[in-house]
Amino acid sequence: MPVRVLMVCLGNICRSPLAEGILTSKTSPELVIVDSAGTAGYHVGNPPDPRSVEVAASHGVDISRQRCRRFSPADFDNFDYIFAMDRENLIHLQGLARNARDLEKVSLLLKTAEMPEEEVPDPYYGGEDGFLAVYRMIDRATDQLLESLLGR
Ligand code: 4NP
């Protein structure tokens, strides 16, 4: 049985689509199933932000076919691990948890990946360099995450 991983940010157009695309590019669906969602519904149905699509493409990762969706409590049943990009997303997800089992599934991506930073900063209102920094951070985090997930 593959491990099922859900990446969550606020809008599901900048950070979590990158996290989905980068982790997907490093594994196979027989081992890890990856999806992403947003805690907010502003952009439902839209493709990722062009700056995320661009920085991913420049690293050989195609996220252009992803479409934004909002996190739903049913995701607690459909995923083994739910990774929040920042504390605000984490608190939102914890508030939606229906029981202790749901709560256990939720954590900060960078904390679980044992990175020095805690949060993947929201790059939406910044420039292109913010998207590159986010890409690099998630790239390192997903390397470490895969080791711990598949080493179970
Ligand atoms: P994300 O970034 O949570 O990484 O997808 C954002 C995208 C959109 C907005 C905020 C953050 N927004 O306010 O529309």
pLDDT tens digits for range 60-119: 999 999 999 999 999 999 999 999 999 999 999 999 999 999 999 999 999 999 999 999
What are the φ and ψ backbone dihedral angles of 120, each rounded to 5 degrees?
Answer: -90, 115
Residues 6+ apart with CB under 8 A from 64: 47, 48, 53, 57
Going from the Cα of 15 to the center of ligand 1, the distance in angstroms, rounded, reads: 8
Residues pairing with 33 in the sheet: 4
Out of 49, 75, 86, 122, the active site residue is 122
Whose CA is closest to atom 10 on ligand 1? 11
Look up the pTM and report it. 0.97
- Strand ranges across the sheet with 32-38: 32-38, 3-9, 81-84, 106-108
Beta carbons within 10 angstroms of residue 24's beta carbon: 22
> pLDDT tens for residues 6-57?
999 999 999 999 999 999 999 999 999 999 999 999 999 999 999 999 999 9
Give residue 151's pLDDT: 80
Q: Is 122 noted as a catalytic residue in this protein?
A: yes
Q: Is 15 noted as a catalytic residue in this protein?
A: yes
Going from the Cα of 10 to the center of ligand 1, the distance in angstroms, rounded, reads: 5
Going from the Cα of 146 to the center of ligand 1, the distance in angstroms, rounded, reads: 26
Q: Give me the domains of the chain, ranges plus CATH numbers.
A: 3-150 (3.40.50.2300)
